[in-house]
Amino acid sequence: MIVAFSISPGVADEHGSAGEAVAEAVRVVRESGLPYETNAMFTNLEGEWDEVMAVIKRAVEVVSARSPRVGLVLKADIRPGYEGQLQAKVQRIDEYLDG
């Protein structure tokens, strides 16, 4: 499965930024060893259901340590038997565009 998720603290820093708290969540993702990519709005994480959800739960916990309120947005592509889809999905789109 691939899960696109975004975590944000309910309380920003003195500059209105959530960057430090989000960085701690991304650190959890990086340390998980699962395939991922982070962009300006979401982090995409690929793996089995239990391992992906455990990483997201831990990421929420580290943001919760900085803020009494946390926002979480999730979108999941659940497709058993498929791996490496973070790159494969984009490659298929490129092939359609090039073809």
* Percent of the residues in the chain that have a pLDDT greater than 90, as a whole number: 80
Measured distance CA(38)–CA(62) in Å, rounded: 17
Tokens of 65: 């340590």
pLDDT at residue 15 above 90?
A: no
| Whole-number pLDDT of residue 18 | 77
Q: What pLDDT sits at residue 14?
A: 66
**What domains are defined for the chain?**
2-98 (3.30.70.930)
What percentage of the chain's residues is helix, strand, coil (to nearest 5)?
45, 25, 30
Mean pLDDT over 50-67 rounds to: 95
Residue written as tokens 């946390």? 70
Q: What is the pLDDT of residue 19?
A: 82
Q: Which burial class, exposed, middle or buried, applies to 19 when counting CB atoms under 10 A from its CB (0-12, 13-18, 19+)?
A: exposed
Instruction: Name the amino acid, one letter, at 59.
Output: A
Q: Which of 37, 48, 34 is nearest to 1 (CA)?
A: 48
pTM: 0.88
Over residues 70-80, the mean pLDDT reads: 96
Place of tokens 């092939």: 95
